[in-house]
Amino acid sequence: MTPEVGDRHRQVVAERLTRTQLVAYAGASGDFHPFHHDEIYATAHGFDQLFAHGMLTMGITGQALVTVFGPDGLHRYGADFLKPVWPGDTLTAELTVSAVHADGSVDVDIATTDQHGTLVLRGAAAGRLAAG
Amino acid sequence: MRSFEFPIEAGHIQEFKRAVGDYDASFDPDAVAPPTFTVAADRHDPEYDRRLRSDRPWPPVAPESGSGFHAGMVFEYHRHPKAGEVLTATVADGQEWFKQGRRGGQLRFREIVTTFFDDDGRPCVTARWINVRAANEVRE
């Protein structure tokens, strides 16, 4: 099916994010900043609790992009981290086609929201959609 | 500018996929790296300080020192790396710009650009890390 501007894909990319997943991401990425695993450190520096790496939110959102573009269809992926993501949050990524190019590639806007509807990540991506 | 090698290991890709929510990712010796995987090159960067090190105190930088926050990231994929490759990462300063903050102060944005080259010297992925901090906290 030919994509059209305005086509949407919604995907729950994290359900009740756990501290364990934050620790797993610290290990996999190598980013052991204590904000993301040390509750005492995070609260001592003014946060209510520890919170997710921005790159974890971006990586989690990337699952929706892999669904749409396949493992090697992406040309570009950019994101701004707008709000902290906390343990317990459920994240939904919504991709909206913003342009369809003559070569078949598409641009999409990305909005990832938490269970309250708060926008935590805003971004854009471009690439060639996965077949099927 | 500095550079270091980043071996793309199949087990590391599996670990990373599970960490970003693909909990059942299996070991695949030919796996394609997921979209944000190259950020994990940091574990191979000799200068990286968000880890325990024998030569530096922990934690490395207290927030009150004005080091800023990671505000965003952009990846450009010239192609997607696969397990078994060894990429060479080069790290350089990128653009810098200022913007008015919502609370009235001025914010300074700075990019750190890491380009990953393959064995043939061709760019594979370009990653732009965007850092922000209050302009009046900047101390060179």
Number of domains in chain B: 1
Select from B50, B59, B75 the Cβ nearest to the Cβ of A31: B50
Domain ranges of chain A: 8-127
The neighbouring-strand residues paired with B16 are none
SS3 B136: helix
User: What is the extent of the structural domain holding B11?
Assistant: 2-137
A95 interface with B at CB cutoff 8 Å? no
Structure tokens at B90: 């080069």
pLDDT at B139 over 50: no
B32 Cβ under 8 Å from any chain A Cβ: yes
Instruction: Spell out which residues of chain B touch residue A32, defining contact as CB-CB under 8 Å.
Output: 50-52
Q: What is the β-pairing status of strands A91-100 and A119-127?
A: unpaired
Q: What is the pLDDT of residues B41-74, one digit of tens each?
A: 999 999 998 999 999 899 876 554 456 889 999 9
Say whether pLDDT at B140 is over 70: no
Q: What value of ipTM does the predicted structure carry? A: 0.96
The top-level CATH class assigned to A8-127 is: alpha beta
pLDDT tens across B89-125, in order? 999 999 999 998 877 789 999 999 999 999 999 999 9
Query: What's the pLDDT score for residue B69?
Result: 86
Output the domain CATH number for residue B34: 3.10.129.10
Residue pLDDT, tens place only, A8-55 = 999 999 999 999 999 999 999 999 999 999 999 999 999 999 999 999
CA dihedral sign, ordered B94, A126, A5, B72: negative
- The distance in angstroms from the start CA to the end CA of chain B is 18
Residue A20 and residue A85: Cα distance in Å, rounded? 14
Asked if A30's CB is within 8 angstroms of B73's CB, the reply is no
B35·A79 Cβ contact <8 A: no
Please state, in angstroms and rounded to a whole number, the distance separating the CA atoms of residues A3 and A7. 7
Contact status of A106 with chain B (Cβ, < 8 Å): no
Cα–Cα distance measured from residue B4 to residue B38, given in angstroms and rounded to the nearest whole number: 13
